[in-house]
Structure 1
Amino acid sequence: MHHHHASHDPFDVWNLVHPPFLLFVLAIGALYFILTGPMRREDLKAPTTKQKFLFLLGLILYYVAGGPVHSFGQLLFSAHMTEMSLQYLLVPPLVLAGLPSWVFRPLFGGTLRRKVFSFLTHPLITLFSFNGLISLYHIPMVFDTIMASAWWMGVSHLVLTVVAFMMWWPIVCPLPERDRLSPLKKMAYIFADGVLLTPACAIIAFSDTLMYEMYRDAPQVFAFLGPLDDQSLGGVVMKIIQEIAYGSVLGFTFFQWVRKQREADKAEQEETAKGRNSSSPACGN
């Protein structure tokens, strides 16, 4: 079970930099600029500077999570939780917001595809699949099984990535015509999302016993961080990163809502003013 601890030094430069993963991330970045730049069809809009910034920020966080942070994740549960939080709570909204809308339009192209993707991006489906799977992952038996096998780790990461993108879709909807939730509903959705992930974080943060076999005999990386504190820190980290991600989006959505209300009020006032200025008897006075 613990055969990989001997060779695994998180401070080793190769482990920290993780060159194959770095190349993979750089390739995605290059692909983004080629497809949205020279390879783009004339009639399609280029991403804005803000979109490019958001996408690159998402890529950088993805690399930090899967490279340097991942190298500590075999020995520290808190590092593993940091990696997961970055990959599923911060990267998806940045990537969704950073891609131009035409990238996503083919997903809803045919009737069948539209039905499938409408189902997969339905707010209730996404809320429960994401939070359900993250909680399931952290049941000790499941966790130890997944973490002991590179194959299971790969599969679960793939599934969770897809589900994380689904979960973020209703909030940061990159397709204006599919943006079904009003700002108020988005705020309720984000709130529900926060509530659903809390039990898992709390159970981990407040547990008095070590829940995961994998970290029981792991060599201590930092003198000040014992295994139980490391476990608690993991639960807290996920909650904090979640609060940061949801808090930012909540603030953004709230200001969007306020702006919409203001515009509606202004339009109404202009209508009323127009009505007063025209001296037509149709006003009923």
Structure 2
Amino acid sequence: MAPDPYAWEWNAEALLAIPALSIGYVWAVRRFSAPGWRIACFGAAMLLLLAVTVTPVETIGLNYLLTIHLIQNVVLAEWAPALAVLGIAPTLAALAPRVPPVPALLLWLGNYAVWHLPWIYDAALRNPHTLLHLEHALYFATGVLLWWPVVHGAHSPGLKAGYLFAAFALASPIGLLLALIPDAVYDFYVDAPERLWGLSPLTDQQIAGVTMALEQAAVFFAAFALYITRFFREQDALD
């Protein structure tokens, strides 16, 4: 029997991982005070994680539509990690090991690419209580590594801008390929129990690819614009 697409689903991520992260953050804030805006950022990260793991986003993405699953993935790999890293106080971040930008970027990119290989992608969806949880955990962990040098690194604004541009340039082909490939590549969605919203597997894949490419352009360009503006301001101040 096909699951109700609009059902809410409580799973290990919502019941264990997100509460554990939240409790750990509360403990850290008691020792390393953080301003209200940082606490709000971390809280927003946890709310985003809940939004994509317990709402119908989870049910639809894990049973019916690639587009919704990719939206879930970008939240796990980009949005939530960025907000979580912003939520960490500099006094606490200073105690963490230094995160070199190039390895951080390569780990995030490699993880992102591997999980989108068709046979691995399908395997994760067919094993939602094991492999899929690992996928989600690695998305979030490598996402934290990706954003750490940007938020807490001591690099110049120019280097941070270049790093963000590289992240976009290297990651965007994944979405573009999904949009341009003439056949549906994920058997899991080809075999979906029903065609939700009237979308064929190929149309769903094309929308998913375009959505992912546009999302990454928006996120990374916004961050790039922030740091390139800071870079030019620094150059003007030196003149």
User: TM class by shorter-chain length?
Assistant: 0.7 to 0.9
CA distance in structure 2 between the aligned counterparts of 1:23 and 1:192, rounded to whole angstroms: 36
Question: Is the Cα–Cα contact under 8 Å of residues 54 and 95 in structure 1 kept in the other structure?
Answer: yes
TM-score, normalization: structure 1? 0.74
Counterpart in the other structure of 2:136: 157
Counterpart in the other structure of 2:39: 52
Counterpart in the other structure of 2:120: 142
Q: Deviations over 1:44-78 (max 9, x none)?
A: 4x211221222222222222122222221121100
Structure 1 residues 142 and 56: CA distance shift in structure 2, 3 A = same
Question: Is the Cα–Cα contact under 8 Å of residues 55 and 98 in structure 1 kept in the other structure?
Answer: yes
Structure 1 residues 19 and 146: CA distance shift in structure 2, 3 A = closer
Residue 156 of structure 1 deviates from its aligned partner by 2.3
Counterpart in the other structure of 2:3: 8
TM-score, normalization: structure 2? 0.87
Counterpart in the other structure of 1:32: 25
Q: Which runs of 5+ in 1 are unaligned?
A: 1-5, 109-117, 174-178, 266-285
- Would you say 1:126 and 2:104 are equivalent positions? yes
- Would you say 1:96 and 2:85 are equivalent positions? yes
Structure 1 residues 159 and 98: CA distance shift in structure 2, 3 A = same
User: For residue 60 of structure 2, what is the amino acid of its counterpart?
Assistant: F
- Would you say 1:87 and 2:76 are equivalent positions? yes
Counterpart in the other structure of 1:222: 197
Residue 31 of structure 1 deviates from its aligned partner by 5.1
Question: Is the Cα–Cα contact under 8 Å of residues 86 and 241 in structure 1 kept in the other structure?
Answer: no
Q: Deviations over 1:163-211 (max 9, x none)?
A: 12111111122xxxxx242111111111111111122111111111110
Structure 1 residues 20 and 136: CA distance shift in structure 2, 3 A = closer
User: For residue 140 of structure 1, what is the amino acid of its counterpart?
Assistant: P
Q: Deviations over 1:89-137 (max 9, x none)?
A: 11111111111123333333xxxxxxxxx4xx22221222211221121
CA distance in structure 2 between the aligned counterparts of 1:260 and 1:53, rounded to whole angstroms: 29
Residue 146 of structure 1 deviates from its aligned partner by 2.1
Tell me whether 254-263 or 78-87 shows the greater mean CA deviation. 254-263
The within-5 A match list for 1:213-252 is 213-218=187-192, 219-223=194-198, 225-252=199-226
CA distance in structure 1 between the aligned counterparts of 2:108 and 2:173, rounded to whole angstroms: 14
Counterpart in the other structure of 2:149: 170
Residue 30 of structure 1 deviates from its aligned partner by 5.6
CA distance in structure 1 between the aligned counterparts of 2:218 and 2:123, rounded to whole angstroms: 30
Number of corresponding residues: 234
The within-5 A match list for 1:189-208 is 189-208=163-182
Question: Is the Cα–Cα contact under 8 Å of residues 89 and 241 in structure 1 kept in the other structure?
Answer: no
Q: Percent identity?
A: 22
Residue 19 of structure 1 deviates from its aligned partner by 7.5
Q: Which of the pair has more CA radius of gyration?
A: 1
**TM-align CA RMSD:** 2.2
Equivalent position SS for 2:151: coil
Equivalent position SS for 1:107: coil
Q: Deviations over 1:232-264 (max 9, x none)?
A: 111122212212221221122123324433544
